Structure 1
Amino acid sequence: MSKKEDSFVWPWCLAWAVLFLLTCLRTVLVMFHHVPLDVNEGWNAQLASWTAGGDHQLYSSDRGFVFNNYPPLSFVLMGGLVRLGFDAIITGRILSCLSVLASAVLIVRIIQVVTGRLPVALATASLFLVTANTAFQGYFGMNDPQWLAQALMLGGLYVAVSRNVADLTWRRLFLCAVLIVLGGFTKHNLVALPLALSVWLLCIDLKKAVLWGMMAAGLLLVGFASCYEVYGVSFFRDVFLHQRVIRLGRVIHGLRQLPLMGGMLLVGLGLFFRQWRSLKWQDPACLVGLFLAFGCLFGCLESLGEGVDYNCMFDAFVAATLLCGIGLARLPEGPEQKRRFVRACCVMSLPLLFLLPLWGVTSYRQVQTVSLKDREWQTYIQALKMHSTSLLCTDMALCYWANSRDAIDGFNLSQALKKNQDIVALRSVIAQHRFSLVQLYGTSAHYSSGNLTVDSWLAKAGYRPVMDNGELILLGYVH
């Protein structure tokens, strides 16, 4: 684009930046309440607190009934912050927001390095931020390592891209490998970018591809050796042999996320194929195209597993954003340039025109109810703190805020039972009435741990309702 067309870009950036700040109001208003935004928040916090305390194994814990299939880096980081006195859930939410902002900055830099066009890079990143906090708002400001891992991976991509392949020295390859491996040890489902980078390097420079492969393999070996030294063989068994029910029909769960980023996906692919004939393999646009293809493929494959959320498509989301920015910056100059750019921007923003009103309604309801839920949760947290040495929580955030180290990972427990694994340790301690209180969801007339087998263990052991407030319920052993 020429500088003349930038007159449209700056108002566009300003408009979406203002909208993004408005979406952040909801994030700030709910962030500091002691109410979980997702069940994973308590799960991540419990594992971080175990890492901080040092009295639990992070994998295959004998005392905590939690099934951990995540790599350890995020828990080590958050565990260090917990030792400094920070709340793992609140701090994790802040870190998630900062990671999204860091990802946006990296998107700007990558597009600018590849195309030399800062205004278009800013315009694309502003739309990325609004989409991240509307279409995918569940992960913006949630205590989860997904966006931290995405930011690390994008850092690796930023180091790798350049207008000149000769600039890709061994030092840059090594730094790229370090960041990507760190991202992999933060969240294990990010395989699209490493694979795309490997294929791209093989196509442009065999020596650099071999060097990159050796560096990445060496760093992985160091990481795996460190995990074996600290956690033993349990790390490999829990992460790589994790039991999960697979259903082919769940591929729809992954595919239905594509329309939420549909504007950027259509524009990115359209411009990429329009410019395809003039591209050479050395062009970073080809690397980003591979990144998008693998992101969609692995996102759909990962979505087959029960319990996998829409974050499995975040690689595709990031890649589509990058492809959009690169394509827009390379629109051919001419009398039609500005018109094409405006038309592309309209297509990119189309899904958000439908999403923003829906987001406004749901955000208003969430802000209205979070204070009420906070007061309810404080009642239960204080009740649980009186018995914090002998609790069992199905919502792990409650146990975390009550300073208890016992919790039950209801979803993965159900997955294990569906795979015909008998959780003998949990059944035994329930039968022995080790827990003075058990937290479930429901009412006195109808309550459930989320698993019929566990419910039967509790009923047989004599656990009955002792506190009920309409949504949460506490059970105690009744002789």
Structure 2
Amino acid sequence: MFDQAGLPSVIAQSGQRVWKVAAAVLAVLVSVIGWPLVLRSTAMVQFDYDEGWNALRQQQAAHFLPLYAAPPGLDITNYPPLSFHIIGLLSLLTGDANETGRFLSLAALVAVCVLAGALARLFVPARYAGTCTGLLFALWLEMWMPRRIGVNDPQLLGMVFELGGIYAFVRAVQEGRDVWRTAPLFALAVFIKHNLIALPLGAGLALLAGRDWRRLIPWVGAGALAAGVLLLGTIRLDGPYFLAHMLQPRAYDLSDTLHNIGTYLIIFLPFVLLAGAWAWRNRRDERRRPLAWSWAAAHVLAFIWAGGDGVSRNLFFEAVLLDAVIAVIAGGEYFATPGRVTPRRVALLCVLPMLFPLSQLLFPLSKLPDSIVSGAIEWRELPQHEADFAAGVALLRQASGPVVCENLLMCDEAGKPSAFDPYHVQDQINLGKLDPQDFVAMVESQRFGAVEIGDIDLGNPKRTTRFSKAFLQALAQHYSPALRTPEIVIWVPAPPKASQPG
């Protein structure tokens, strides 16, 4: 572990002031940008497409209805079950699955920040270094993907277990202890969100690179045992088609891959280069090797998965978090050298996290005021969004027959789950596994009592990609709008056209 004990006391005190000032600046920024994101969590609107999707399955789990009882059809449950059961059971106490999921996600974000700080403190003993790490990740999350702050999604909940596992793993390696006890934490993370494999993969590669068979074999065995128990329990409790749902193919777009990777690199390139250099330099250091390999695994996996249909920036969460952790560790090691603690370097340390995005080179700080203003504007507009959402729920509740919703939470709140999942259906159409004309025929025969188009996280519903062009054209011909807002349109069957005489 890095030790400052040999430095002159004046240098150590200067280093502490660096972290204290940086923590104060970051705390102000996180608070100013984050307050509307936290306060909005009680609003009855859908902030992310997955919220309604998750809420329905959480309610199923709360009533012990199997999640994988049937093969994938017009809907799919391609998430592991653990988060559905945790939030579903808690919702029996709170009375609302979606709000429970949001509050648990906020609590998980706090826990992730604390664990990230604890991980950094294993290498940098400065008092405020851990605080800076957690605040830095929170700031980046607020500015880069505010839609995942306080939303009903299991990503951050799973990362609590994953980050707890890597913290315990690194600490055990530093102290010369066995690591097999950390494996169940990684298994729990994967059964909360299946894409959380970067940190356990990095930990395993670190042991493999060091040929540490004494630790590797029991660790792999413990992980396999924990995963096996969770898999058998899932099949027994939630149905035999778990793997069929999880392994359902999805469309892949190379242009989306390049776009998502490019966006990430444009924004985080200085920290990627800094963390990459640190990881390469420490790849053979037994104590630092797990962190170095985890950083590499997080980036490789995110780059590979970046083009999957429906994937979002959350695929880069582990990469971003490790960028923050390693940036603080590298900064701590740099400032531990006598003579490097100067006002100019302290100012650079405080300003560097605010350089968003780097593509706007002439105005590198423009993203900061934009984040503040956009959050305040969203907060001001929430009452109208809630009123529109309530009007949509009331209309859907009155519809006769099945309904279809792009805003899945709206259907869920109306007590009429969507007849099919628009995202999943369109994805399977893109893969050639479903015929789009089948759904056009449903519209032409007016099978649905109502069809809701648009979502608050999409903005203009005309830009939606969750329905085919032919579906929307048929909808305009055979249905008429009963409710129209800037975000959503609800269509109901149009009356038959009167036949022309003679």
User: Which TM-score band (shorter chain)?
Assistant: 0.7 to 0.9
The more displaced of 216-225 and 346-355 is 346-355
CA–CA separation in structure 2 for the residues paired with 1:239 and 1:45: 18
Shift in Å at residue 91 of structure 1? 2.2
What residue number does 1:290 align with? 293
Q: 1:409 aligns with which of 421, 426, 449?
A: 421
1:465 and 1:475 in contact (8 A); partners too: yes
1:28 equivalent to 2:41? Answer no
Matched, 1:51 2:61: yes
Deviation at residue 358 of structure 1 after TM alignment: 1.8
Q: Secondary structure at the match of 1:338?
A: coil
Say if 2:20 is the partner of 1:3: no
Spell out, residue by residue over 1:390-419, the C-alpha distance to the aligned partner (whole angstroms, 9 max, x if none). Answer: 433221010122122334321111011122
- The residue number in structure 1 matching 2:22 is 12
Distance, in Å, in 2 between the alignment partners of 1:29 and 1:59 is 37
Gaps of 5+ in 1: none
The answer as to whether partners of 1:466 and 1:476 remain within 8 angstroms in 2 is no
Are 2:86 and 1:86 aligned?
A: no
Tell me the distance in 2 between the aligned counterparts of 1:59 and 1:354: 50
Opposite residue 57 of structure 2, the aligned amino acid is L
Checking the alignment, whether the CA contact within 8 Å between 1:99 and 1:148 is kept in structure 2 is yes
Shift of 1:267: 3.6
The Cα of 1:164 is off from its aligned counterpart by 5.2
Query: Corresponding residue for 2:205?
Result: 199
Rounded Cα–Cα distance in structure 1 between residues aligned with 2:172 and 2:348: 25
How far apart are 1:331 and its partner, in Å? 2.7
Q: Residue 371 of structure 1: SS of its match in structure 2?
A: helix
User: What aligned pairs does 1:166-315 form with structure 2 within 5 A after superposition?
Assistant: 167-169=176-178, 172-174=179-181, 176-204=182-210, 205-248=212-255, 250-271=257-278, 276=281, 280-283=284-287, 285-315=288-318
Q: Does 1:439 align with 2:443?
A: no
Report the equivalent of 1:159: 168
1:399 to 411, 416, 425: 411
- Does the 8 Å CA contact 2:68/2:241 hold for their aligned counterparts? no
Q: 1:7 to 1:222 in 2, by over 3 A?
A: same
- The answer to whether structure 1 residue 450 and structure 2 residue 467 are counterparts is yes
- Once the two structures are superposed, residues 195-235 of structure 1 have per-residue CA deviations (whole angstroms, 9 ceiling, x without a partner) of 11001122342111111111111112222222222344421
Cα pair 1:467 1:475 within 8 Å, conserved? no
Change (3 A) 1:21 1:59: farther
CA contact (8 A) 2:198 2:294 kept: yes
In structure 2, the residue corresponding to 1:74 is in which secondary structure? Answer: helix
Give the residue type in structure 2 aligned to 1:186: I
2-structure distance, mates of 1:235, 1:456: 36
Report the alpha carbon displacement of residue 386 of structure 1 after superposing the two structures with TM.
Answer: 3.0
Matched residue SS, 2:251: coil
Tell me, in whole angstroms, the C-alpha distance in 2 between the residues paired with 1:59 and 1:36: 27
Distance 1:115 1:280 in 2: 19
Partner of 2:9: none
Letter in 2 for 1:156: G
CA contact (8 A) 1:89 1:143 kept: yes
Q: Using a 3 Å threshold, how does the CA distance of structure 1 residues 429 and 47 change in structure 2: closer, same or farther?
A: farther
Give per-residue Cα distances to partners, 1:164-221, cap 9 Å, x unaligned: 545423xx522x1111111111111122111110011223421111111111111122
Take 2:99 and 2:126, find their aligned partners in 1: how far apart are those partners? 37
Q: Indicate which of 36, 41, 49 corresponds to 1:39.
A: 49
Q: Which amino acid aligns with 1:43?
A: W
Q: What does the per-residue CA deviation read over 1:125-171, in whole Å, with 9 as the maximum and x for residues that have no partner?
A: 222221121222121112111111112100101111127545423xx
Conserved in 2, the CA contact under 8 Å of 1:34 and 1:374? yes
Give the TM-score, by structure 1 length.
0.87
Q: 1:360 to 1:85 in 2, by over 3 A?
A: closer
Whether the 8 Å CA contact 1:303–1:312 is kept in 2: the answer is yes
* 1:349 maps to which of 349, 353, 358: 353
**Is residue 142 of structure 1 aligned with residue 142 of structure 2?**
no
SS in 2 for 1:114: coil
2 CA distance for matches of 1:215 and 1:164?
17
Deviations 1:266-293 (A, max 9, x none): 44344555xx37x75312x222111111
Question: Does the 8 Å CA contact 1:67/1:413 hold for their aligned counterparts?
Answer: no
In 2, Cα distance between equivalents of 1:219 and 1:195: 16
SS at match of 2:309: coil
Question: Are 1:254 and 1:310, in contact at CA under 8 Å, matched by a contact in 2?
Answer: no
Taking the aligned partners of 1:206 and 1:115, their CA distance within structure 2 comes to: 29
The answer to whether structure 1 residue 112 and structure 2 residue 121 are counterparts is yes
Q: What displacement does 1:303 show?
A: 0.6
Q: Specify the SS of the correspondent of 1:142.
A: coil
Q: Is the 8 A contact 1:262 1:351 kept in 2?
A: no
Scaled by the length of structure 2, the TM-score of the pair is: 0.83
Count of residues in correspondence between the two structures: 468
With over 3 angstroms needed to count, the CA separation of the structure-2 counterparts of 1:59 and 1:139, relative to structure 1, is farther
Deviation, structure 1 residue 71: 1.1
CA contact (8 A) 1:115 1:329 kept: yes
Match of 2:385 among 348, 358, 373: 373
State percent identity of aligned pairs. Answer: 22
* 1:60–1:68 contact (8 Å) kept in structure 2: no
The 3-state SS of whatever aligns with 2:253 is coil
Structure 1: distance between partners of 2:439 and 2:54 = 20
Q: Distance in 2 between matches of 1:469 and 1:293?
A: 45
Q: Deviations over 1:426-467 (max 9, x none)?
A: 78976876643332349xx9898722454477679x544444
Three-state SS of the structure 2 residue aligned to 1:337 is coil
- Please give the alpha-carbon distance, in whole angstroms, between the structure 1 residues aligned to 2:272 and 2:370: 21
Report if the CA contact (8 A) 2:79-2:193 is conserved: yes
RMSD (Å), alpha carbons: 3.1
AA aligned to 2:233 is S
Cα gap change, 1:199 to 1:463, in 2 (>3 Å): same
CA contact (8 A) 2:38 2:149 kept: no
Change (3 A) 1:17 1:249: closer
From 469, 474, 479, the counterpart of 2:491: 474
Following the alignment from structure 2 to structure 1, what is the Cα–Cα distance between the partners of residues 286 and 209?
A: 8
Please name the residue that 2:324 is paired with: 321
1:228 and 1:457 mapped to 2: Cα distance?
A: 40
Aligned CA distance change for structure 1 residues 232 and 53 (closer, same or farther; 3 Å): closer
Greater alpha carbon shift after TM alignment, 82-91 vs 187-196: 82-91
Whether 2:73 is the aligned partner of 1:69: answer no
